[in-house]
Amino acid sequence: MRNSCLADSIVDITWTRGPNLPRPVKGQAQGLLGDLIVYACGFAFDATDYQRPSSTATREEVNQIRWSRRLRYCRETWAFNPHRSEFSRLPDAPVGAFWPEGIGLGADFYLLTGAMRNAENAGFNDEWQPGEKRDLTSPRIFCLRRQQDSWGWDEFPPMRTGRFLPGLALVGTTLYVIGGQACFGGAPFSGDRAGPHVSAVESIDLTEPQRGWNDVAPLPGLARECPTTATAEGKLYVFGGFYDHIYHDPDRQSWHCGDAYCYDPRTCRWDQLPDLPFGIQGAPAVTVSNRYILIMAGIRGGNRVEHPFGGDRSGTPRANLEVILFDTQSQTYRLLPTRLPPAPADPWQPQNPWSDPSSTLRDYWCLPKVSLVGNDTVYLLGGEVLDLAYSNCTDAMWIGTIVFEKPEGHP
């Protein structure tokens, strides 16, 4: 792997299949510790000695075979060494977590947000136990760090507002949590809809966690979940996301947001950026050369961004197989020539009409997790795909090699 200089421009990204993950997984917390990719928790599937059902099996038969193998509140923690192409098992997280978020800083890995269950209850899936607290939008945050020759977990001060499916970003040593759902103690609408969306943003300096969390100016535009977040040159960038009307108007189609914003911690101000080429949600991103932001996968809302509020309902929601490049200096977007490989088709799950707010779609990668190693190699792990036989998880790893073009006259 080589380090590209700041003058290099990105012309494409090519994809090859990497080794399979130890288990199919979606919604895991993931971060980079040096060149080590660490991920924990999420929704996993036990595929040990598992035989996929025949394509002639009924949906009910598939459900009976797969149901007991779901790991809805998984606690497993794994590390992947890209240089050796090897996985190793790290200590389980102190809680089971459903759709948590994660981030790495130096040699520390942070796990936070999502729905959390204490270790003794994590294996019960949907069966809540007597007296168990339903921590659906958890404010808790945990840190995994190497202690001499072993790894151990510590708990940090909790957030002010617990979240489900927020955005996460790290500027220097300051961690920002942006938007998401918040239940405020209320009953959930469903397993993936824990509460209404919020625009609230809060931050913590991870070098001084004892000072606790601070309120930050809220995100402009619609409140949302699953925004794309990235940082470059000391600024925080937020793209797209998902706004669901389900709590007050279930018959309306949800918005795939297409607006974008930049937050400067020095001025404590949000500025609006040009709209995305199309609305998008559940798409991870990496920053290359402290300038270029690559946004990939997720679900796109249509073919263009509609207003007001940057929403996109201009077409049927579908898989986003494009890789969007955003240049933070020119504030322009470009689609790279090579698209992502499509996810597998599922013979057992019919596609609901796009007007159905609970619609599920064939052939998409939603909320895979991404890590950039060496400034030129992207690792895309897991994600939600329509594959009922594996509980809509995947064990796929895709490795993207960034193709640079040096400017004319550059050696």
- Domain holding 341: CATH number? 2.120.10.80
DSSP string of 100-115, one letter each residue: -EEEEETTEEEEE-SE
Mean pLDDT across 79-92: 97
Structural domain includes residue 224:
yes
In the structure, what pLDDT confidence band is assigned to residue 6 with cuts at 50, 70 and 90?
Answer: very low
Structural domain includes residue 185:
yes
Task: Name which residue leads in pLDDT, 154 or 364.
Answer: 154
Mean pLDDT across 22-33: 97
Number of domains in the chain: 1
- The rounded distance, in Å, linking the Cα atoms of 197 and 99 is 15
**Structural domain containing residue 131:** 9-346+359-405
Q: What confidence score (pLDDT) does residue 92 get?
A: 98
- The rounded distance, in Å, linking the Cα atoms of 298 and 284 is 8
Q: Tens digits of per-residue pLDDT, 305-329?
A: 866 555 666 667 788 899 999 999 9
Of 105, 106, 111, 72, nearest in space to 90 by CA: 111
Q: What is the pTM of this model?
A: 0.92
Task: Name which residue leads in pLDDT, 317 or 34.
Answer: 34
- Please give the structure tokens belonging to residue 47: 């595929």
Of 164, 201, 209, nearest in space to 184 by CA: 164
**Quick one: residue 389, left, alpha or beta (phi over 0 = left, psi -120 to 50 = alpha)?**
alpha
Q: Tens digits of per-residue pLDDT, 142-201?
A: 999 987 788 999 999 999 999 999 999 999 999 999 999 998 877 777 777 888 899 999
Mean pLDDT across 362-378: 84
- The rounded distance, in Å, linking the Cα atoms of 411 and 409 is 6
Structural domain includes residue 411:
no
Structural domain includes residue 351:
no
Share of the chain above pLDDT 70, in %: 89
Q: What confidence score (pLDDT) does residue 411 get?
A: 56
Mean pLDDT across 49-54: 92
- The rounded distance, in Å, linking the Cα atoms of 137 and 185 is 9
In the structure, what pLDDT confidence band is assigned to residue 407 with cuts at 50, 70 and 90?
Answer: low
Q: What confidence score (pLDDT) does residue 349 get?
A: 74
pLDDT, mean over the chain: 89
Structural domain includes residue 154:
yes
- Please give the structure tokens belonging to residue 181: 């759902």
Structural domain includes residue 3:
no
| Contact predicate 322/335, CB 8 Å | yes
Mean pLDDT across 328-334: 97
Query: Which DSSP symbol is given to 67?
Result: G
- The rounded distance, in Å, linking the Cα atoms of 278 and 240 is 9
Q: What confidence score (pLDDT) does residue 256 get?
A: 85
- Please give the structure tokens belonging to residue 410: 């550059």
Of 231, 216, 208, nearest in space to 178 by CA: 216
Structural domain includes residue 318:
yes
Structural domain includes residue 353:
no
CA distances to 69, 145, 170, 278, 363 from 123, in Å: 11, 25, 32, 39, 29
Q: What confidence score (pLDDT) does residue 318 get?
A: 80
> What sign for the dihedral angle of Cα 207, 90, 387, 398?
positive
| Contact predicate 325/292, CB 8 Å | yes
Q: Tens digits of per-residue pLDDT, 266-288?
A: 999 999 999 999 999 999 999 99
Task: Name which residue leads in pLDDT, 348 or 89.
Answer: 89
